[in-house]
Amino acid sequence: MNLETLHREQSGRVLATLIRLLGDFDLAEEMLQEAYAVALEKWPVEGEPSNPRAWLVSTARHKAIDRLRRDRRFAGKRDEIAKAAPASAPHASEIASEADSPDDMFPDDQLRLIFTCCHPSLAEDAQVALTLHTICGITTEEISRAFLTPVPATAQRLVRAKRKIRDANVPYRVPPPEDLPGRLDAVHLVVYLIFNEGYFASTGDALIRRELCAEAIRLARVLCKLLPHDAETRALLALMLLHDSRRDARVTPEGELILLEEQDRSAWHADQIREGTALLESALRSGARGPYALQASIAALHANAKSAGGTDWPQIAALYNALLQIHPSPVVEVNRAVAVAMAQTPLDGLALLDAPAIREQLAASHLLPAARADLLRRLGRRDEAAEAYRRALALATNETERRYLRRRLTELS
């Protein structure tokens, strides 16, 4: 595994462990960068260590202890770090043989970190923003787009959240069972948004960041083991499995976007569809009626339809109506409008998209003009569709989506 791949797939887990050891978000992030710099210098000469993740943690920890030795203000913190991981401990190359499992060496620090960030003393938007930034390396700009908030406001939110966790000495652990309900909604949202950023990457050349999708599914499985009787947790895992089952059919080998109705359903992963559908049915029998159960029900109707034409769009539209009742969101409004357009007529869907409230809330997002453009194209209103596609193209930040929008524009012209 080269260093770039390691950073993309493992940096969140390494950083979570360092935050536990160092007790400081900013110091952990800085020391991890220093460890990467050492790796860039040493690995090409000495070879990659047998356990790269352990090597990075150990190197960053040693760097932190060296830093704190030079700073009297952190004398107490240095002693804490030495207790958690003694400075005299052997280097990772010595403590991590090829037979060692990284998961044996590092318990699920990411889940501990999620629960730490989702402490009820923080506002929920701050909980979610901090966790996404730390666990996934999702940038301030990407988080701002997810929350439809200005970048400076998001940056300040991250700074305040880190400070509050440090000053309040929030324990770095999964809370006891009696404290779980107060944090579970935020934890669910974090895991869902990790998956969402992987499934619809907001920036970059690729539409899908598979490492984020896989990590979100892994975390949801851990949550299901931790909370085996929580129906909405099962529904969340079901939702992600059903969506992820389509990953190989969503883009061409050349990286071009393929719409759901045009996808090769034989390329969908039947094992994930079966597992996701079974989890959903179990969750519904247990009384799950929350946002993830409703979204998973929508995903199951898509995943189990034999063809695009056989999709039960009236039922999907009804489920979006129910979702809006408990989880109002402009993005859900757009999805409902598309479902109504498919269940009834494009004109009916367009009327919903042109509601002033949606236009105001999604003024900076490409989702609304892209959806309008598609419905206008279906109605044969080519000039209006082209204008909407141009608007969407100006706002889109993912290159795969931008290529799709350009292709539609070319087809119209």
Interval 369-384 mean pLDDT:
96
Instruction: State percent of the chain over pLDDT 70.
Output: 89
| Whether residue 143 has pLDDT greater than 70 | yes
| Whether residue 96 has pLDDT greater than 70 | no
Token pair in block for residue 342:
């498919």
Query: What's the half-sphere exposure (Cβ side, CA atoms, 13 Å) at 397?
Result: 13
Interval 232-257 mean pLDDT:
94
Range of lowest pLDDT (75-84, 87-96, 284-293): 87-96
Please name which of 49, 63, 137 lies closest in space to residue 97, comparing C-alpha atoms: 49
The mean pLDDT value of the chain amounts to: 85
- For residue 330, which amino acid is it? P
Length of the chain: 413
pLDDT tens digit sequence for 71-82: 755 555 555 555
| Whether residue 336 has pLDDT greater than 60 | yes
CA gap 359, 112 in Å, rounded: 39
- What's the confidence (pLDDT) of residue 328? 92
CA gap 239, 279 in Å, rounded: 9
- What's the confidence (pLDDT) of residue 281? 98
pLDDT tens digit sequence for 159-175: 888 888 888 777 777 77
pLDDT tens digit sequence for 97-130: 322 333 333 447 878 888 888 888 888 788 888 8
